[in-house]
Amino acid sequence: MKIIAVCGMGIGTSVLLKINAEKVLKMIGVEATVEAADMATARGAAFDAQIVLTTPELVESLKGLNAEIISIDHFFDLEELNTKLSKALL
């Protein structure tokens, strides 16, 4: 199971999403690798990914990928991520 967290520059929100996603995965007991990427490398990185985590503004630009795109609004609240990831994975 491969998850990609994408933001514009690959060091800010993508990393926050990665950290939180790893916490949630641990909580729900699912094994997966989470990689942070920027928009430029997202397509390549998402080639073999099942899920792409990103922010609402970037969803449009990521359309057409094989992976399921999940948009997250809250970076400091695991509830939203938990709900959306669980739905996609379980």
Partner 1 sequence: MGILADAFGEGSILIKDSVEDRSSAISLVGDLLVASGKATSTYVASMLEAVEIFGPYIVIAPGIALAHGKPSDAVLETGLSLLILEQSIEFQHSQNDPVRLVFGLAATDHESHLELMAELAEFLSAQENVSSLLRCSDSEQVLSLLG
Q: Which residues bind partner 1 (CB under 8 A)?
A: 7-16, 18-20, 36-39, 55-58, 73-77
Return phi, psi of residue 37, to 5°.
-140, 160
Length of the chain: 90
- 28 in catalytic set: no
Minimum distance of partner 1 from residue 25's CB (angstroms) = 15
Minimum distance of partner 1 from residue 80's CB (angstroms) = 12
d(CA 78, CA 24): 7
Active-site choice (4, 5, 6, 7): 7
Active site members = 7
